[in-house]
Amino acid sequence: MKQRLMVAAVGSALVALTSQVWADGSDAFKLRGFGTVGVVHSSTDLADYRTGLNQPNGAGYSHKYDFGVDSKLGLQADMKANDILSGTIQVISERRYDKTFKPTLEWANAKIQATSDLAFHAGRMALPVYMVSDYRKVGYANPWVRPPTEVYFQVPFSHLDGADAVYRLNTGDVSTTFQAYGGRTKNKIPTSAGMNESEGRRTLGLNVTSEIGSLTLRAGYVRTRFTYQGPATNTFFNSYRALANGVDKLAAGAAQVAAGAQSAGQQPLPAPILTALSNTATSAAAAAADATATAQSVRSIVERYEADNVPASFVGFGALYDPGGWFIQAEYTKRTNDSLVADTTAWYLSGGVRVGKFTPYATYSRIKTDSELTSNGASPISAPAISNLPAIPQLAALQAGIDQVNGGVPQINQSLGLLNGGLNVLLFAGSTAQRNITLGVRWDVMKNMDVKMQWDQLKIDNKGAGYTLNNNQVGFDPGKKINLFSLAVDFVF
């Protein structure tokens, strides 16, 4: 709510600024745009290839030739009130989580240039976790059809609602920029099990970028409180919670039986009955302790795997060497978080040569999963059944309690087994390992416009889930290489 208010406030301030600038008739207002018309064809029709976790469908299963994967149109208004205050609004139309191309407000921020080397932004801005975060959607500014997806899939947010401070330090031939930022971010992620919400709260990050001649080096760190929830995961974890409550009741029942058997054992009763009572008391106490341990174990699974406001971080290192005639660029990134969402490491190495108007390029990119994709789940109740009592009327009530506890244990263990199985399905769905080989050529066909042709060969490791795929159909073989053919026209105006 606060977030929306802030964006709205900055937005209306910018609109006010725009109208003032318009009234002045000065050229302090610039309207520019960028766009891509692209089409992708995949060699498989049993899964969709897409370029962002928020795209619900793509090329392959849903479309033989998909114009929605890369095509987009962006409009940007830059306004300048004076040498200190300026603002930027950017609106982008591209395929959204709901399959529409409804324009979204990508940026709306005000900038204060405090000194020639220090600036502040507030409002909605790019979430700068990657080397090409802020122009990743501007095809014309990039050598490829799209930034390597293995790396750029990891953080499913492109903008941040918050503020930053940017300081530029020029020392001799080295120009270093420090950017500290904070805020929150949100996105919708369509999955086969419904629409999930992804959110990063209390996000804090720092980037350091150094330019030394043709060499650019970058290091970035960001941490956040991460939430990733949807109808399926909520139901799942609520089932675990309900089960933990059920196990608590069972433990209480077993404790009652133990107490009952113990107090009955104080009565003047024949020796064999006293022995039976004592055995029952002991085994019931053991069952109670074991059930309590199981309840704890179930709760610790929820604690360990539910992505509800959990600590998460992302580290990235990047390098670009571009002396003009050729370029080489690489990024190495690591994602960690305390939930069922996988921890990942991803990197790419890309290079190209500029031959007149043509820039052939090649990229190798890879992502792997660092966290365990399987779990033993919560431990079942393993204590032996509570021993039965002699069938005498005085002990019938106690025996009924024993029967209830003994009957409940297998039921609980069965539910637990199902949930533990579900947990493993969810963990495996987070399996990310894959590699991609890209070959392409950019042709600067005319002023402000390029044409790109790109071939990608995607290979999913260990018959994994297919990180950049969606809508996988029965019969889809993840072990088989997938060939993708992309054609894109990028333009700026």
Partner 1 sequence: MKTPLVRATLIMLLLAPLAKADIAVIVSAKSSAGNLTADQVSQIFLGKSNSFPGGGQAVPVDQSEGAGPREEFYTKVTGKSAAQVKAYWSKLIFSGKGQPPKEIGNDGAVKKLIADNPNMIGYIDKGAVDSSVKVVLSQ
* Number of shown-chain residues binding partner 1 (CB under 8 A): 36
Query: Rg (Cα) of the chain, in Å, rounded?
Result: 30
CB 312, CB 337: distance < 8 Å: yes
Q: Exposure string (b/e) for 385-418, b if CB count within 10 Å is 16 or more? A: ebbbbeeeeebeebbebbeebbebbeebbebbee
Task: Report the nearest approach of partner 1 to the CB of residue 16 (Å).
Answer: 19
Nearer to partner 1 (CB atom), residue 186 or residue 354: 354
Report helix, strand or coil for 251: helix
Does position 492 interact with partner 1 (CB under 8 A)? The reply is yes
| First-residue to last-residue Cα distance in the chain | 35
Backbone angles phi, psi at 119, to 5 degrees: -135, 155
Q: Please say which residue, 88 or 283, places its beta carbon nearer to partner 1.
A: 88
Q: Under rule CB under 8 A, which residues in 98-157 are in contact with partner 1?
A: 107, 109, 111, 116, 121, 125-126, 132-135, 137-138, 140-141
Among 16, 22, 32, 194, binds partner 1 (CB under 8 A): 32
The window from 46-54, 377-385, 442-450, 480-488 that contacts partner 1 (CB under 8 A) reads: 442-450
Taking the complex as a whole, the smallest distance from the CB of residue 381 to partner 1 amounts, in Å, to 57
Told to check if 76 binds partner 1 by CB under 8 A, we report yes
d(CA 299, CA 293): 10
In the complex, the smallest distance separating the C-beta of residue 168 from partner 1, rounded to whole angstroms, is 9
For residues 321-341, one letter each, b for 16 or more C-beta atoms within 10 angstroms of the residue's C-beta and e for the rest, the string is: bbeeeebebbbebbbbbbbbb
Is residue 47 part of the contact set for partner 1 (CB under 8 A)? no
Q: Which region among 58-66, 390-398, 443-451, 471-479 touches partner 1 (by CB under 8 A)?
A: 443-451
Q: Per CB under 8 A, does 308 bind partner 1?
A: no
What gap in Å lies between CA 295 and CA 5, rounded to an integer?
42
Query: Of the candidates 370, 376, 401, which has an alpha carbon nearest to the alpha carbon of residue 387?
Result: 401
Return the number of the residue (107 or 236) whose C-beta is nearest partner 1.
107
User: Minimum Å distance from CB 27 to partner 1?
Assistant: 8
Instruction: State which residue, 268 or 324, has the beta carbon closest to partner 1.
Output: 324
Residue-level length of the chain: 493
* Smallest gap from residue 449 Cβ to partner 1 (A): 10
Nearer to partner 1, 175 or 239 (CB): 175
x/- letters, 324..353, toward partner 1 (CB under 8 A): x-----------------------------
Residue closer to partner 1 by CB (options 109, 294) is 109
Which one, 126 or 244, has the nearer CB to partner 1?
126
Please select the residue that binds partner 1; options are 45, 78, 308, 403, rule is CB under 8 A.
Answer: 78
Q: Is 185 in the site for partner 1 (CB under 8 A)?
A: no
Distance CA 301, CA 294 (A): 11
Minimum CB separation of residue 134 from partner 1 in Å reads 3
- Residue from 7, 11, 34, 461 binding partner 1 (CB under 8 A): 34
CA distance 208 to 217: 8
CB neighbours of residue 148 within 10 Å = 26
Least separation, in Å, of the C-beta of 152 and partner 1?
15
Structure-token pair, residue 60: 């392959």
267 exposure class (CB count in 10 Å sphere: 0-12, 13-18, 19+)? exposed
Q: Does 25 bind partner 1 (CB under 8 A)?
A: no
Alpha-carbon distance of 1 to 8, in angstroms, equals 10
CA-based torsion, 318, 459, 367, 64: positive or negative: positive
d(CA 244, CA 191): 27
Which residues of the shown chain bind partner 1 in the complex (CB under 8 A)? 27, 30, 32, 34, 74, 76, 78, 88, 90, 107, 109, 111, 116, 121, 125-126, 132-135, 137-138, 140-141, 170, 175, 211, 323-324, 354, 357, 444, 447-448, 450, 492
